[in-house]
Amino acid sequence: MSEAKQGWFLAIADGVVLFLLLVNVLLFAEVYVRRLRQKLRTRRAREFRAHCEQVLAELDPATRMHDPAWLRGQLASFDELERPIAATMLIERLRPLSDEERAHMLAALRDAGGLDLVVSRTRSRMPWRRALALRTLGWLGATEAVPVLLERLSDSSLHVRAAAARALGRVGDPRALEPLGGLFRTPGRVEGGIVYDSLVAFGRAAQPVFAGALRSPLESVRVASCFGVAEVSEPDETLALLEPLLGDGSGPVRAAAARALGHVGGPRVPEGLARATRDELSIVRAAAVGALAGFSEPRASELAENALLDADRETVVRAGETLVRLGSTAQGWPVERARVLASLGAL
């Protein structure tokens, strides 16, 4: 290699080495700055929590020491780091309270202008901040925030939509029933389990939503509706609504209807449930035989004893468990197995 080429090569090598050294220095500096910033934020957050405890105590009539103007000023002074901490601490305070105690805290927060501050955060640029604000409104039970919560059911973030659905279930305002029902009937925008729980929180008021969804073309919706009907309906209504589902064309739906009927129980074994113990699908037979434990009619024991001869092992085990719960004197390995499990607290 000529001297000219060698000099050119060494110059490039020196440049690369200097560049890599510079990159390493910058990386080390960035890591150091981040760690220092995190340490400062942690210390600041710890100090703020102590102050926030005093501020939140003003929401409780038993510990209130200042007038609403003082509280208003304190809440307005919270910055971007402090507001999420304050919201999280407020939720933790609200969790164990009764409805009456929450109402007192909501009134104090409203008088101090704090509720308006929380509502304004539902339009934050960052999804997690919007979701936290929605959670706070839900735990507060703020009915005046229902329009905002309904608006956030169409948010671009799945996490925010889920937070809005949960909050609407906690607030329990009737205006939310139809929008939540729409989400329940056409799952996808919000996780089905979240919408289901929110509807169940409405109690009997949600019965028409679940009853109507039993006719849904979607198998998953009909399955969830079986359990929803059982949760919010009277026993006679549950029987009338769910017994026809024992003849549904979908095996999982028939099994869900059987389990839901067993959850409600009653003095008489429904004819549809008796037929379901002989269903062509083993998942349905197992569910139906297990559901017999919820019925006091002597026929329930007879059907369960017949199921001890089923070709499906799971159905036989469910039959044994049912007989144990019904107090039957029947014998057989599944019954003895069930009795052992019951003695261990597993049934």
Average pLDDT over residues 20-35: 69
Classify the C-alpha dihedral 326-327-332-335 as positive or negative. positive
pLDDT band at 327; cut points 50, 70, 90: confident
pLDDT band at 10; cut points 50, 70, 90: low
Domains recognised in the chain with CATH numbers: 56-70+83-90+109-168 (1.25.10), 265-347 (1.25.10.10)
Residue 61 phi/psi, 5-degree rounding, is -55, -30
User: Collapsing DSSP states into helix, strand and coil, what is residue 312?
Assistant: coil
pLDDT at 233: 95
pLDDT at 64: 78
pTM of the full structure? 0.80
pLDDT at 5: 57
Residues of the chain with pLDDT > 70: what percent?
A: 84
pLDDT band at 336; cut points 50, 70, 90: low
46 has a pLDDT exceeding 80: no
**Tens of pLDDT, residues 226-275:** 999 999 999 999 999 999 999 999 999 999 999 999 999 999 999 999 99
| Lowest-pLDDT range of 60-74, 140-154, 195-209, 236-250 | 60-74
Name the nearest CA neighbour of 150 among 160, 159, 140. Answer: 160
Query: Per this entry, what is the length of the chain?
Result: 347
